[in-house]
Amino acid sequence: MIRYASTKESIEQAVDDVNDTWRTRATKHTRKLLDDEKYSEGGPKWSDIKSAFMSLQYHKCIFCECPEFERQRGTYNLDVEHFRPKNAVEPWPKANAPKQYPFATGGVAGAYYWLAFDPCNYAASCKECNSRYKSNFFPIAGVRGLAGVEASNLQAEGPFLCFPLGDWDEDPELLIDFDGLIARPASADPARRRRAEVIIDFFALNEREALQIERALFITLFAPSLTASVTGIATPKQRAIAAKVHTPAAPHANCLRSFERAMIANPRRGREIVEKAQEVVFDSIEI
């Protein structure tokens, strides 16, 4: 997970740019939702503004940073995801989950129905992050916000999940980085560590084999250029490739940037990470 430089205004502008009547219709329907105190159909379609979020996020899942491989085929495999659920919030972790936490995570709650048509409550995510993991969960450390408060103004809830668009939440890279292929808390600060722990568990970032293989693939792909860059022997082409790691468009950018830092701090550890990544790739294709 990384930050995508944007603000409430730039997100709204991106929506206006792809559909200049969407927000007007959204505001009108939101007034009805607030009057009814519940979610109902009848607002503008989310699919009409999906492309705005695809562009803001460089065609990567907002949560796991997998690239949208289907893009070249002209089909979308990312969903418009409601960060705060428009339906009733289910408790996370579930009561029968193997791991429980020694701190409160918000429990069951009503729906964030008034945010169903707030663009600052949207992001595009892969179907696995959205359907299998995100669902109607939204763990928080504090007290749920009041109906009518905009998505960009609800940080007092103490959300555990981090919103990588806009400028009202923390930079995800202050919460999570990687040791090789493994996501881990990036900070010693207790609140940040708790958030990182929840995010990593919530999206099963270290348990999903496909994610491990993708991270391994991209480390393998970037390793020659990054290694040459770090040791000062890179060709201009290799320097250009290594620099891509610092653009928000790089798939699994947080993992790649962590790998680059490991290479700089401890080249031997860097080589171990590359060897492990190659092993994971070869195992995945059974060579």
Question: Which lies closer to Zn ion via its Cβ, residue 26 or residue 256?
Answer: 256
DSSP 251: T
**Interacting residues with Zn ion between 30 and 69 (CB under 5 A):** 61, 63-64
Task: Name which of 204 and 228 has its Cβ closer to Zn ion.
Answer: 204
Residue among 64 and 199 whose Cβ is closer to Zn ion? 64
The answer to whether the CB of 11 falls within 8 A of the CB of 165 is yes
Residue (77 or 278) nearer to Zn ion, CB: 77
At closest approach, how far in Å is the CB of 205 from Zn ion? 9
Nearer to Zn ion, 33 or 61 (CB): 61
Cis check for the bond before 267: say yes or no (omega within 30 of 0).
Answer: no
Q: Which stretch binds Zn ion (CB under 5 A): 75-83, 128-136, 170-178, 254-262?
A: 128-136
253 binds Zn ion (CB under 5 A): no
∠ CA 136-150-102, nearest 5°, is: 45
Confirm or reject binding of residue 124 to Zn ion (CB under 5 A): no
Smallest distance from Zn ion to CB 72, Å: 18
Residue 129 makes contact with Zn ion by CB under 5 A: yes
Complex with Zn ion: residue 123 or 226, whichever CB lies closer: 123
CA distance 175 to 186: 5
The pattern of x and - marking residues 82 through 121 that bind Zn ion according to CB under 5 A reads ----------------------------------------
Residue 142: in which H helix or E strand, if any?
none
Stretch that binds Zn ion, among 18-26, 70-78, 126-134, 273-281 (CB under 5 A): 126-134
Tokens 């430089």 correspond to 5
- By CB under 5 A, tell whether 274 contacts Zn ion: no
Radius of gyration of the chain (CA): 20
Distance (Å) of CA 34 to CA 24, 25, 45, 106, 120 = 16, 14, 19, 23, 17
**Rounded Cα distance, 5 and 167, in Å:** 7
Residue of 126, 165, 175, 281 that binds Zn ion (CB under 5 A): 126
| Closest separation in Å from C-beta 66 to Zn ion | 5
C-beta atoms surrounding 278 within 10 Å? 15
Strands 78-82 and 182-185: unpaired
Residue count at the site for Zn ion (CB under 5 A)?
Answer: 5
Task: Give the residue with the Cβ less far from Zn ion, 63 or 137.
Answer: 63
Between helix 209-230 and helix 236-244 the angle, nearest 10°, is: 140
Q: Residue written as tokens 């007007």?
A: 24
8 Å CB contact between 241 and 225: yes
Whether a cis peptide bond, with omega within 30° of 0, leads into 93 is yes
Instruction: Give the binding range for Zn ion (CB under 5 A) out of 48-56, 72-80, 116-124, 127-135.
Output: 127-135
Residues in the site for Zn ion, rule: CB under 5 A? 61, 63-64, 126, 129
